[in-house]
Structure 1
């Protein structure tokens, strides 16, 4: 069906409205939003209402949208991740992201060989495609859950860093299938180059990005989030163009940028959070358009998909988790949870488009089965993660969204900012009045949020634990202010 420009824009607007409403009600329905986004795509696609025609011939377009969206989602996830927390789980996360993906892919490949009836190389290709957990799915599902920080961060760091391994295995196996041979030393060297160069470039461009954001003085505050996002796209493209892992570089760059003191920090974070949601909706709707329900739910695909899903969820992932986290201070309950929370999402579906673009014979079969595996993983595992964590007693304090809202600003021409400071239990100024605190010159406490109530501060106001202070400070005094209110190291 051909559309005029106005009709396409109208349809895009309606799809995003449906996406937002879907995200709003997904938690009430107990179903991850990404599943509902996929269903929206399937509904408006060729096999549904027929509003948008999309098929395997447009796999290149779906692949482009998917990779672009993954860059945005990984960047937003890295910005929100605290470096101190990541440091404590770096070893298990990297172990799961490399050896874990390899073990999972191998076990699924053995099953795929007999379930799908394909060659060993094609079976390993299928295993590589579904071998990694998905950042978009993990970030979306864990964002509002009160899972213990160490477990949640392990899963987020794993999903942010395991895509390169899956991409490397997938592309290597496609090359091996199409060409017929490959030098093992070249393969190993290529892996080291992708990981090493990705880490180095991600770190370097992240430092450059945070330095540039703080040094540049833009006329409009709305340009700062765009400037930050530009570094994410630059990081991916530069890294990918030299044959290294662009996705890994983006996540590392986001970690570096997100853990710096940034001008317009909150504006940058909020913009990227909203844009990541938009990309998540677009990506999963596009991927939903690419599948045909009448093919997906054929008896043969249904049975094969169920079998491989169960093997992945109940055998391959648990074996990989228990083997790669030996002597890493996780008890059996935590390992069980890490096994169940290994969500599959956009990455396997995007990777399933690579065999299509390479013209492999069994690529339609792979895509449909991969799509079914992802759908069941997101639907079954994603909707039960919170319940599973509660049963295993692996939840922390309930996460709450503050009811207050105060726009934080950087006053560029006055070289000043309003910053937010949260008073933790061990902050040195707890119990002191503002008069007793030796505030630097050019510093003014403008407002205090206490128990969701706004308090107007004055000299006799006593600072209490869990207070949130909004402070007007000159940029040159920011470091001094942070040191004054810095919580003591435990």
Structure 2
């Protein structure tokens, strides 16, 4: 009992330490210009048995469980903040990248693995399948808050959110071909369409049910709404996976549906999931770092061959896949070059690399080590230069505007009222208008203005200036009309 008590306390202490170190690491990531996932993985490796010997971890089953749970949270958070109006414009090119692009990348990497690493054809294609898809966690993190053109950001986000089914399908198919004497290829192909189709359907249905449930249920605490929303994400994955369809695709689709609805306590749901996604990302990459044993990596043959395959993926396979997948779509050569460069590898390939280990595929640890080198190379080379390349190619737009969102104040939580926070940025017809001349719905009042970090109590003669933050109190029935009106001010000015 005492030993059990000690083990429990020891694990809790380690977990808290890892999270604190992970959060602090993000500060170094920003200053060094290195993607945070690289530093998280390094943190796990340093804490592992080969260096500081603080934690010994070699369980791929637990790593896979934590990885999948983290991907659910990350995809859900990313989908919630993605506008359907942006995604539907790039749906077809994104789908082409998520299917044909992954297949082409897999094939080219498999050729490299065959002739550089000396692998059997099936094992070479298995390695290609594992690293064939871009990673949602890495892409969302790399593009978050950046002013990359909306068309390109939406294409990359949609691709990374929907290309997992192809990568999972190919990975599991080649594992089956390697481990089983007889495999039905027709059934494997049918399985892919089942995973894609059913994943889309279940994700859409549960997204509708989830958004309606969030809006109609009356909970005793506002803090329960974010938990309720996240529960739907996990339920979506679980139900979809139970029928052998793509749970990750279903989660992303459900998040898109929920995120594009008017939600009760929307801001609380978004902020909770943003913080929780960071926590899961830290935990996931640290755990995956613990699964890597540096002593096995200090093999110069493995190092140079691993980096050579990574080079082929980054500079040959991904560009060819992008250019061929987008042949019939209206993208300039500069845009195709940027999409090719921004195809980051991250958590998904490393999580998929645990599948051969669990299935006892021969030399699965070697496959994992090569995948690690490829992911690390992609994150360091591509991840640290995305913004620079976007600026160099002149593919950046105006600074992203902050949409109006609801502040769910505890004091009005049970009242029929909501507080809207609205940022007045350039190209807005509100600038220069006085309070008394505002055309706002009835039962709506501008309560306060934050200007240059100072609080202003508005009067009828108070003018609105660029950079002001308006706090607008509205009854719930008028919120939709208010947001529509505020968006009109921006849309009309941009049109001119």
The TM-score bracket by the shorter chain reads: over 0.9
Which deviations, in whole Å up to 9, do the C-alpha atoms of 1:264-286 show, x marking residues without a partner?
A: 11111111111000000000000
Report if aligned partners of 1:296, 1:372 keep a CA contact under 8 Å in 2: no
Greater Cα offset, 444-453 or 255-264: 444-453
Report if aligned partners of 1:264, 1:409 keep a CA contact under 8 Å in 2: no
SS class of match (2:418): strand
**1:306 aligned residue:** 307
Q: 1:133 to 1:441 in 2, by over 3 A?
A: same
For residue 336 of structure 1, report the CA deviation from its aligned partner.
Answer: 1.1
Q: 1:160 to 1:53 in 2, by over 3 A?
A: same
Greater Cα offset, 142-151 or 435-444: 435-444
Residues in 2 aligned to 1:19 and 1:255: alpha-carbon distance in whole angstroms: 28
Residues in 2 aligned to 1:376 and 1:401: alpha-carbon distance in whole angstroms: 33
**2:104 aligned residue:** 103
Residues in 2 aligned to 1:414 and 1:406: alpha-carbon distance in whole angstroms: 14
For residue 138 of structure 1, report the CA deviation from its aligned partner.
Answer: 1.0
Report if aligned partners of 2:319, 2:340 keep a CA contact under 8 Å in 1: yes
C-alpha RMSD over aligned residues: 2.2
Name structure 2 gaps, 5 residues minimum. none
For residue 429 of structure 1, report the CA deviation from its aligned partner.
Answer: 5.3
Report if aligned partners of 1:45, 1:51 keep a CA contact under 8 Å in 2: yes
Task: State how 1:21-420 maps to structure 2 within 5 Å.
Answer: 21-55=24-58, 58-398=59-399, 407-409=407-409, 411-420=412-421
SS class of match (1:446): strand
Q: 1:145 to 1:413 in 2, by over 3 A?
A: closer
Residues in 1 aligned to 2:133 and 2:406: alpha-carbon distance in whole angstroms: 39
Which deviations, in whole Å up to 9, do the C-alpha atoms of 1:199-242 show, x marking residues without a partner?
A: 11111111111111111111111111111111110111111111
Output the TM-score relative to the length of structure 2. 0.93
For residue 151 of structure 1, report the CA deviation from its aligned partner.
Answer: 1.4
Greater Cα offset, 214-223 or 418-427: 418-427
Report if aligned partners of 1:296, 1:369 keep a CA contact under 8 Å in 2: no
Residues in 2 aligned to 1:168 and 1:256: alpha-carbon distance in whole angstroms: 25
Greater Cα offset, 258-267 or 428-437: 428-437
Residues in 1 aligned to 2:92 and 2:158: alpha-carbon distance in whole angstroms: 10
Q: 1:307 to 1:220 in 2, by over 3 A?
A: same
Which deviations, in whole Å up to 9, do the C-alpha atoms of 1:127-178 show, x marking residues without a partner?
A: 0000001111111122143322221221111111111110111111111221
Residues in 2 aligned to 1:449 and 1:143: alpha-carbon distance in whole angstroms: 25
Residues in 2 aligned to 1:423 and 1:399: alpha-carbon distance in whole angstroms: 12
Which deviations, in whole Å up to 9, do the C-alpha atoms of 1:339-373 show, x marking residues without a partner?
A: 11111101000000000110110211100100111
SS class of match (2:198): helix
Residues in 1 aligned to 2:188 and 2:219: alpha-carbon distance in whole angstroms: 45
Report if aligned partners of 1:94, 1:161 keep a CA contact under 8 Å in 2: yes
Report if aligned partners of 2:42, 2:286 keep a CA contact under 8 Å in 1: yes
For residue 246 of structure 1, report the CA deviation from its aligned partner.
Answer: 0.5
Residues in 2 aligned to 1:236 and 1:447: alpha-carbon distance in whole angstroms: 42
For residue 335 of structure 1, report the CA deviation from its aligned partner.
Answer: 1.0
For residue 310 of structure 1, report the CA deviation from its aligned partner.
Answer: 0.5
Which deviations, in whole Å up to 9, do the C-alpha atoms of 1:83-130 show, x marking residues without a partner?
A: 111122212111111110010001101111122222211111110000
Report if aligned partners of 1:133, 1:159 keep a CA contact under 8 Å in 2: yes
Q: 1:428 to 1:214 in 2, by over 3 A?
A: farther
Q: Does 1:435 align with 2:416?
A: no
SS class of match (1:486): helix
Residues in 1 aligned to 2:232 and 2:179: alpha-carbon distance in whole angstroms: 35
Residues in 1 aligned to 2:84 and 2:469: alpha-carbon distance in whole angstroms: 22
Residues in 2 aligned to 1:122 and 1:426: alpha-carbon distance in whole angstroms: 55
Residues in 2 aligned to 1:301 and 1:237: alpha-carbon distance in whole angstroms: 38
Residues in 2 aligned to 1:22 and 1:59: alpha-carbon distance in whole angstroms: 25
SS class of match (1:435): helix
Greater Cα offset, 61-70 or 139-148: 139-148
**1:15 aligned residue:** 18
SS class of match (2:263): coil
For residue 424 of structure 1, report the CA deviation from its aligned partner.
Answer: 6.2
Report if aligned partners of 2:407, 2:418 keep a CA contact under 8 Å in 1: no
Residues in 2 aligned to 1:406 and 1:268: alpha-carbon distance in whole angstroms: 11
Aligned length, in residue pairs = 486
Report if aligned partners of 2:219, 2:225 keep a CA contact under 8 Å in 1: yes
Which deviations, in whole Å up to 9, do the C-alpha atoms of 1:427-475 show, x marking residues without a partner?
A: 6655543323344333222223445554322223334565443221121
Q: 1:393 to 1:355 in 2, by over 3 A?
A: same
For residue 406 of structure 1, report the CA deviation from its aligned partner.
Answer: 9.7
For residue 425 of structure 1, report the CA deviation from its aligned partner.
Answer: 6.0
Name structure 1 gaps, 5 residues minimum. none
Residues in 2 aligned to 1:401 and 1:424: alpha-carbon distance in whole angstroms: 9
SS class of match (1:419): strand
